[in-house]
Structure 1
C-alpha cells in the first residue's frame, strides 16, 4: 500500500482490547513513511524530528500537527523549541502501535514538501 493510502484513511477509535502491532507489521507500515520516522521504545512507538529555520515556522508546524490530532482524535507527544520539533506516536490504550499511529504520521509527512 503506498503512503498516500495511509493519508486517505482516518483513525478508528481504540479503547484497547486489541493487541498492538508486532514489530514486523510496524516495520512494514513504517516503510510507507518518510525515512525520518523511527521505531523506538522496544517497538512500541514511532518518532520523528523536524528542523525549521525559526520559531514561527516551528510553531506553525506544531499547530498543524495539533490540528491533525484534533481531526483524527489521535494525539501525539510533541516537544519543540526554537527551531526543532519531535513528534512521537503510540496508542496509549494498547500500550503500543496501531495503524492509527501510521495514519497520523503519514498526514504529518504531507505537511512538508
Structure 2
C-alpha cells in the first residue's frame, strides 16, 4: 500500500496554489500506473473495468465511502461495467495532495 493511502485529506478551501506539474508527476508515480494526468495538469483520472453492473456499483459505493470519510469528492462516470474517476481540487482549480491520497485509497480497494 502506498504511503499516500495511509494519510488523510486536509481541509482545502482555496488560498493556496495547486500542485505544480513536477509535484503532480512525483505523486502520480506513487499511484497505480493506470492513473493519468490530464493534458492541462489540473486533474488525474483512471478507468476501472468490472465483470458486471453489480461489481461496478459495489465499487462505486466503496469510492463514495472513501469520499465521505475524507470529505474529498471525485467526479464519477458510471456505466454497466465501467467507472471513470476524475480527481481535482475544485477550490484550487487544479490538483492537491488530497487528490492523490484518495486515488491511493482507491488503488488499495482493487489491489
Q: Distance in 1 between matches of 2:80 and 2:43?
A: 24
1:28-107 paired onto structure 2 within 5 Å: 28-107=26-105
The count of residues paired between Structure 1 and Structure 2 equals 111
Q: TM-score, normalised by structure 2?
A: 0.98
Please list every run of 5 or more consecutive structure 1 residues that lacks an aligned counterpart in the other structure.
none
Match of residue 25, structure 1, among 1, 4, 23: 23
Question: Are the equivalent residues in 1 in contact too, given 2:2–2:31 (CA < 8 A)?
Answer: no
Structure 2 unpaired stretches of 5+:
none
TM-score, scaled to structure 1:
0.96
**In the TM superposition, what whole-angstrom CA distance separates every residue of 1:68-105 from its partner, at most 9, and x where no partner exists?**
00000000001111000100000000000000000000
Q: CA RMSD in A?
A: 0.8
The answer (yes or no) to whether the contact 2:43–2:86 under 8 Å persists in 1 is yes
1:28-78 Cα deviation digits (max 9, x unpaired): 000000011000050000000000000000000000000000000000001
